Amino acid sequence: MGTLFASEGDRCGWPGAMLFDLDGTLIDSAPDIAAAVNELLSTEGLPRQTLEDVRAMIGNGVVKLVERAYAACGIVLAGESLDRRVSVMMDIYARHLTNLTIVLPGALEMISAYAKASVKIAIVSNKPHAFTQQIVEHYGFAPHLAAIQGADAALRTKPHPDMLHATLKAMDMPLSRALFIGDSSTDAAAAKAAGMPVVIVRSGYGHDGKNDFHADVFCASLHELPQAIEKLKSTA
């Protein structure tokens, strides 16, 4: 990982900012997403997908989700045909944001505690920005946040680093003081590309216990986040 801290003072004050992924890291939104996916597929008489199948489709935004859902039904989408289904999916998913979604254990507790400790907290999600904002407000994250960054046309989504860099700029926080927390290889790759350390939560969608993709530290759940941060400090 290299040297994180220029001085012991930097070590004591790190992290100054914590950027969290949303789906699979802070919330379990898979039941809502599955309901929306199956409603979309039903408009064309296509077979329903199981909750576990849909969990495996999550992580790279709505376009990839729709592409994967149709691929599971043996249909390859591209160009206008993909765009049209994505547009329909956006309308459907807007009605499935907070029906079945739950906050994951430790999520609000950790975010609240670190925010109270003057750490700047942000959520960075590949979910469309308006949907991300609605969800974080509904589930009580918003009062603790310094920034919210969902997918928009101006920035490439994770695994590109653009959204992470834009979030740090919005918070006026240097890269050297930032930590990313996610649950998938997409999150790990985005953090690596951005040049910041990453903690991966194994209980999320993106880790099946078999593929230890790049991460600086793994933890079983967000309850272990303080220990993961201390491990990063001790090994930097």
Q: Which residues are catalytic?
A: 21
**Token pair 């004050």 in the structure block, residue:** 13
Q: Which residues pair with 68 in a beta bridge?
A: none
Residues 6+ apart with CB under 8 A from 128: 61, 62, 90, 150, 151, 152
Closest by alpha carbon to 122, among 134, 109, 136? 136
Burial class (CB in 10 A: 0-12, 13-18, 19+), 124: buried
Alpha carbons 27 and 33: distance in angstroms, whole number: 12
CA 118 to centroid of chain Cα atoms: 22
Q: Do the Cβ atoms of 121 and 145 come closer than 8 Å? A: yes
